[in-house]
Each structure stands twice: as C-alpha cells, then as structure tokens.
Amino acid sequence: MIGQLVWPNKALHSDAVNRARDHGRYLLKGIMERIDITFTIAERDLIVNQTFAVDDLTERLHNAKVEGNYVKVAYTLDEIEDLAGFIATEANHAEDKKLEKKLDALYDKICDIENKYL
C-alpha cells in the first residue's frame, strides 16, 4: 500500500487538478470534451468488478467495443478524476496485496493520462 488510507501523491494530484480548474487551464481540451482512454480487458474488469465507480462511468466500459484485448472509452477530465478516486479508495482498503498492486498501477495509469491535460 502507498500509505495507510492516504495516497501521498493523491493530495498533490487533487491540488494540481484544483489549481488547473481555478485557472481554467485544462490544456488542449475543454473541461467537457471527452478524452479517449484505452484499457485492457483486465483493467476494465478490475474497475467494474472491484470498485464502487458509479454506473455512468462503468456503463461506458460495459458498452465499449472490444478490439483484441482492449477497449477504448471516452471520459471528461472530471470523470477521469472521479474514476481515479474510486480506484484509489478501493486500493487503500484492499486486503489482498495482489489486488492492491493492480489497483495502484491502474490509478497511476489514469493519473498519467489526466496529467497530460493539466
């Protein structure tokens, strides 16, 4: 686990997102414009089956067209931030170390994508 119920970089992450919102600096994309994210089937299943992400976020994962071992889903920056929060919460409460490690990696992937637009 990356900390005991708190992700050290989560505070920095949220602070960066809030600063970007305050200054209207979402680079290249408008706040309501959707960004394509490619997930593996395993990552999709992890989000759908192991987090409490809201139906609006997971429904798109269910409906996404499978191409090989991947699905592509479009989310706004706000939705990406919400998705990262659901994943972080589950990782912080995971008792299974393998599950925690998978969720941590998925969280990092989503944050890396989000940070490209901040």
Residues 39-69: tens digit of each pLDDT: 999 999 999 999 999 888 999 998 998 999 9
The Cα 7–Cα 75 span in angstroms is 23
Collapsing DSSP to helix, strand or coil, 39 comes out as strand
Residues 69-118: tens digit of each pLDDT: 999 999 999 999 999 999 999 999 999 999 999 999 999 999 999 888 87
pTM: 0.71
- What is the domain partition of the chain in residue ranges? 8-23+32-115
Q: How many CB atoms lie under 10 A from the CB of residue 3? A: 11
The Cα 69–Cα 81 span in angstroms is 24
Collapsing DSSP to helix, strand or coil, 32 comes out as coil
